[in-house]
Amino acid sequence: MLRNATTQHPILLVHGLFGFERIGPFELFHDVKQALNAIGAQVFVPHLSAIHDNEVRGKQLLWQIDSVLRGTGATKVNLIGHSQGALAARYAAALAPHSVASVTSVSGPNHGSEIADFLRKALIPGRLPEAVAQNVAILFFDFLSQLNGTRLPRNAVAALGALTTEGVGSFNDKFPQGLPKTWGGHGAEQVNGVRYYSWSGVVPELDVSPSDPVQGICRALSEYFITEPEQNDGFVGRFSSHLGTVIRSDYPLDHLGSLRRAVGRHPAAGDSIGLYVEHALRLQAANL
């Protein structure tokens, strides 16, 4: 029998950078939304700019939160943001805590992304060996093409700055709610009435999905991390993802694996979709 995880407030699944409708034949958030609906949760997927800075996307999210509240009669929402979606969720909660019951960061770059730093430096002539910079850029572009089969938007480079350590640092100076006081620690569980949670993963040691090209790209990108080597999901470092109550930050999941079921999933792979179901039960238990 399926568990009932009807939360007091609707759940909004917030997509990150280069958000899109589908990953190959799969709708973005399809597995997550289906699993949450099956246990009674009321779920919405707001659509933000696929590529823009954190505050612009956060403002767009605020408008859509208002729309959900008007349409459902709810007083608050639970925000679950994947990747850059976590930053948009944090922005919304900071500006409208009266409308947000909780913020959950899933693989969110809450202290920036080393890959974003690396790619940003690659744009400065002479800062990196040309061959290395080109290799990282090709891996990054290949990753995106696996997602939606389209070319990168023309303003992708400008959006990259919003995810660098410096860019997120500036964002954090203005919106510090839920951030840990120490590197690798937990942040405040509750700020201004909003509960904060996070979870993330690291690229699995085992090749749990040999037929999944996205996992191969994340594995290759993970080798370029310096601050968090072998402790990252290919795009975000383990400790960089911490926010509020850290449920766990070393699940055997790459960056996109925390959003969907991997292709040719091996028994050793983490059950990413089950994590969302468990979290819905957690929110329910907290009367959220």
Residues tagged active-site: 83, 233, 255
Name all contacts of 217-221 with Cβ < 8 Å and 24+ positions apart.
Answer: 217/139, 217/142, 217/143, 217/146, 218/143, 218/254, 218/255, 218/256, 218/257, 219/254, 220/139, 221/115, 221/136, 221/139, 221/140, 221/143
Which among 83, 108, 10, 92 is positioned nearest to 59, based on CA atoms? 92
Integer Cα distance of 193 and 257 in angstroms = 31
Residues facing residue 102 across a β-bridge? 78, 195
Which among 42, 48, 57 is positioned nearest to 12, based on CA atoms? 42
Dihedrals phi, psi of 161, to nearest 5 degrees: -60, -30
Which among 244, 283, 255 is positioned nearest to 90, based on CA atoms? 244
Residues facing residue 197 across a β-bridge? 104, 245
Look at the chain and count its residues.
Answer: 288
Integer Cα distance of 251 and 248 in angstroms = 7
Q: Give me the residue label for tokens 């028994």.
A: 267
The one-character DSSP state at 27 is E
Reduced to 3 states, what is the DSSP secondary structure of residue 77? strand
The overall longest dimension of the chain from CA atoms, in Å, is 60
